Amino acid sequence: MTRRAIAVIFLALTALSPAGVFAKSELLNVSYDPTRELYQDFNKAFAKQWKQRTSQDLVVKQSHGGSGKQARAVIDGLDADVVTLALAYDIDEIYNKAKLIPRDWQKRLPGNSSPYTSTIVFLVRKGNPKKIRDWDDLVRPGVKVITPNPKTSGGARWNYLAAWAYALKQKGGSDAKAKEFVAKLYRNVPVLDSGARGSTTTFVQRGQGDVLVAWENEAFLAVNELGKDRFEIVVPSLSILAEPPVTLVDKVADRKGTRKLAEEYLKYLYSPEGQEIVARHFYRPYDKKVAAKYARQFPALRLVTIDDTFGGWAKAQKAHFSDGGAFDQIYGGARCLAEWGLIGLIGPIGPIGLM
């Protein structure tokens, strides 16, 4: 038993020690939350393929977290060779704040640097008791909608924009009507989790809400992992094309001397093998052939893009999710400061403070 414990500690030690000692190539892929399973498989496949080609051992390390948080970590010095995040906005900030990548990073790889796409769908309880078919049903009184907070979750921004786009594309749709629609939708939201997986847990484990608005791949994963007999997926008539982009982090890769390797890694994402893995994890593949093969898995629906409908991420972010943007207006209300001011702050404290 003790010997085993020592072995375990030794193993842990070697895991901790710098990889350079063993002359292994190492790559760090900094990604967002829902891609864990995808990159676990993909990294294995790539390492195997790399070993066959170059007979070099390769370890691809993964880091996952909220998309914005991960981008900030890279900006603040996390040594990522490649980033694979939820939205272009977060990668744009890596250019804006730290200049680690060129401004036109998104033009470097096909499909807006997005080797896979996804969209926003609904997850409902088995049998669809509330008869939810489309976005209109989400604003019905008495329907409880679970979606994370778009101010803290990248995925939730796609949810929000999809709902907005739906209202905008209806007959007589306008920004004002869309805002009203989205406001009505959020009035039906009883819990705003800070991240996408938090919302899934609230819906699945805590039994809150009638419908979960989620990424298509997350909805598939939830159904497969947590119970086919408990949930079903509903695809709305219109949704948004979610493009999670990838890029090489030039400055880091050059410093570490891993540029070639990192470029190969990203290229492999677009290869038929890579695209197969992508599709198996319920992301819509970029490659037409692979897409055709998996067509049955991904129902066709009308998809709008962020560039066409919202004029790109920078604009959408500013109009909707910045402080004082449309999302804040939905919740804020223009109360004057005095009303909430110091009296309000001390109000509940006073009697308790005296004990």
Partner 1 sequence: MGSFGTKNTVLPGFGPALGYTIFYLSIIVLIPLSALFFKTATLTWDQFLVAVTSPRVVASYRITFGAALFAASVNAVFGVLTAWVLVRYRFPGRKLIDALVDLPFALPTAVAGITLASVYSPNGWLGQWLEPRGIKIAFTPLGIMVAMIFIGLPFVVRTVQPVLEELDQEVEEAASCLGANRLQTFYRVIFPTMLPAILTGFALAFARAVGEYGSIIFIAGNMPMVSEITPLLIITKLEQYDYAGATAIATVMLVASFVLLLSINLLQKWSRRFAE
Partner 2 sequence: MHATTTSRASKVSEPAAVRWLLISVALAFLALFLLLPLAAVFAQAFDKGWEAYLAALHEPDTLSAIWLTLLTATACVPVNLFFGIVAAWAIAKFSFPGKSLLITLIDLPFSVSPVVSGLIYVLIFGLQGWLGPWLQAHGIRIIFAVPGIVLATIFVTFPFVARELIPLMESQGRDEEEAALTLGASGLQTFFRVTFPNIKWGVLYGVILCNARAMGEFGAVSVVSGHVRGSTNTIPLQVEILYNEYSYAAAFAVASLLALLALVTLAIKTLAEWKIQQGLSINENER
Distance CA 352, CA 344 (A): 14
Bridge partners for 303 per DSSP: 239
Give SS3 for 87. coil
Spatial contact of 326 and 319, defined as CB atoms under 8 Å apart: yes
Give SS3 for 12. helix
Residues at the site binding partner 1, with contacts judged by CB under 8 A: 66, 68-69, 72, 93, 96-97, 149, 151-152, 190-194, 198, 201, 205-208, 317, 321-324, 328, 331-335, 337, 340-341, 344-345, 347-349, 352-353, 355
Of 70, 111, 64, 78, the C-alpha closest to 245 is 111
Which of partner 2, partner 1, none does 36 bind, CB closer than 5 to 8 A by kind?
partner 2
- Kindly list the distances between the CA atom of residue 188 and the CA atoms of 67, 211, 239, in Å, as whole numbers in the listed order: 26, 10, 19
- Minimum separation from the CB atom of position 245 to partner 2 (A): 20
> Would you say 45 or 319 has its CB closer to partner 2?
45
Residues at the site binding partner 2, with contacts judged by CB under 8 A: 8-9, 11-13, 15-16, 28, 33, 36-37, 61-65, 70, 73, 75-79, 97-98, 197, 201, 205, 221-222, 225-226
Spatial contact of 93 and 223, defined as CB atoms under 8 Å apart: no
> Would you say 185 or 269 has its CB closer to partner 1?
185
Phi/psi of residue 262, each to 5°? -65, -40
- Minimum separation from the CB atom of position 3 to partner 1 (A): 29
Give SS3 for 231. strand
Which of partner 1, partner 2, none does 61 bind, CB closer than 5 to 8 A by kind?
partner 2
Of 240, 207, 203, the C-alpha closest to 219 is 203
> Would you say 302 or 318 has its CB closer to partner 1?
318
Which of partner 1, partner 2, none does 12 bind, CB closer than 5 to 8 A by kind?
partner 2
- Minimum separation from the CB atom of position 100 to partner 1 (A): 14
- Minimum separation from the CB atom of position 355 to partner 1 (A): 6
Which of partner 2, partner 1, none does 65 bind, CB closer than 5 to 8 A by kind?
partner 2
Which of partner 2, partner 1, none does 340 bind, CB closer than 5 to 8 A by kind?
partner 1
Name the CA radius of gyration of the chain, rounded.
23
> Would you say 77 or 299 has its CB closer to partner 2?
77
The crossing angle, in degrees rounded to 10, of helices 216-226 and 196-204 is 40
> Would you say 188 or 275 has its CB closer to partner 1?
188
Name the residue with tokens 């695209």. Answer: 275
Residue 95, both tokens: 């250019």
> Would you say 23 or 336 has its CB closer to partner 1?
336
> Would you say 127 or 333 has its CB closer to partner 1?
333
Spatial contact of 25 and 58, defined as CB atoms under 8 Å apart: yes
- Minimum separation from the CB atom of position 269 to partner 1 (A): 26
Which of partner 1, partner 2, none does 9 bind, CB closer than 5 to 8 A by kind?
partner 2
Residue 294, both tokens: 């998996």
